[in-house]
Structure 1
Amino acid sequence: MKNLCLLLGLFLVAAGIAVPALGHHSVTMFDLKNTITLTGTVKKFRWSNPHVILWVDVDPPEGGESQRWAFELTSPGNLSRSGWSKRSFSPGDRVSIDNSPLKNGKTGGLLKRAVILKTGEVLLFKWRKEQVTKP
């Protein structure tokens, strides 16, 4: 009986540890076979878990008003190991963004590559390997 209680206790602890992993979504909402490039102005850069988010007011293709897009990245920990920081983007930065857009057509995507136009700095992101690089 003592062993059964111990085994049950270990199972409950293991199950409790695994629960946070269930909250992480896949990348199936993004069209990974399609890459589009958009240019715009950084509105906000949120450096927090579980994913860093970059909001950009994207230039309209032919006049009109800009559209706010949200670009998802990996976690701050993964980005910082490759040299990114919470200061990688600032509001007002002009950027060019390569991304895999949302399949549902809404204004968002998975950021693959960003160029800060003023400095020419290139920031890369490879989702599948949870790895980013900064040349």
Structure 2
Amino acid sequence: MLLASHLINEPDSLPLLAAVRRHLSAGGRAIVECYSAGWFDTVADGSGGTLGEVEISLSEVARDRDLLSAVIGRSRGREWVRAFTARRLDQAGLVDLLAKAGLRFRGWCASTDTWFSADLP
């Protein structure tokens, strides 16, 4: 199962993880994308870059404890803007959240902390 787009960082992602749990069979794995915990320390107004042909920029960045809110703008001919709030999750936080959903953290998928795998305990 693939869970991309940083959905695990939503402020209330437990119901989503419960759905992941229901869809995993014995021996199955979930591959999950998350924001790096370090990203929360460095992101600021004007952060962004280019992803293929799409320009991405962040504005109105605000922090409240473990939550970060911002407006993301994307453009490729026409502009798309959306406000979002993300919850900071370090590895210990991920392990705890996954356990509450009946899942087990299996490790990072690469040398960065942005993709990990989880399975049934």
- Range into which the TM-score falls when normalised by the shorter chain: under 0.3
Q: Which has the higher contact order (CA 8 A, sep 6+)?
A: 2
- What TM-score, normalized by structure 1, do the two folds share? 0.26
Relative to total residues, which structure has the larger strand share, 1 or 2? 2
> Which structure has the larger Rg over C-alpha atoms?
1
- What TM-score, normalized by structure 2, do the two folds share? 0.28
